[in-house]
Amino acid sequence: MADGSARVRFCSDCNNLLYPREDRVENRLLYACRRCGTQEEALDACVYRHEIAIQERGETGRLRDLIKDPTLPKASKRCPQCGNGSAVYFQSRANHKDATMTLFYVCNNEACMHQWSSDQDQEDMDDMA
Task: Confirm whether residue 36 is marked as ligand binding.
Answer: yes
Cβ neighbours of residue 30 under 8 Å, at least 6 residues apart? Answer: 20, 21, 22, 23, 39, 40, 41, 42
Please give the helix or strand (H or E) that residue 125 lies within, else none.
helix 118-128
pLDDT (tens digit per residue) in 88-123: 998 876 655 666 778 889 999 999 999 988 776 544
Has this prediction a pTM greater than 0.85?
A: no
Task: Sketch out the chain's domains with CATH numbers.
Answer: 1-51 (2.20.25.10), 59-128 (2.20.25.10)
Task: Confirm whether residue 79 is marked as ligand binding.
Answer: yes
Dihedral of alpha carbons 37, 38, 39, 44, sign: negative
Task: Confirm whether residue 46 is marked as ligand binding.
Answer: no
Task: Confirm whether residue 11 is marked as ligand binding.
Answer: yes
Maximum distance among all Cα pairs of the chain, rounded to whole angstroms: 79
pLDDT (tens digit per residue) in 35-87: 999 999 888 777 777 776 654 444 556 777 888 888 889 999 999 999 999 99
Question: What does the DSSP 8-state code read for residue 85?
Answer: S
For residues 4 and 11, the model is more confident at 11
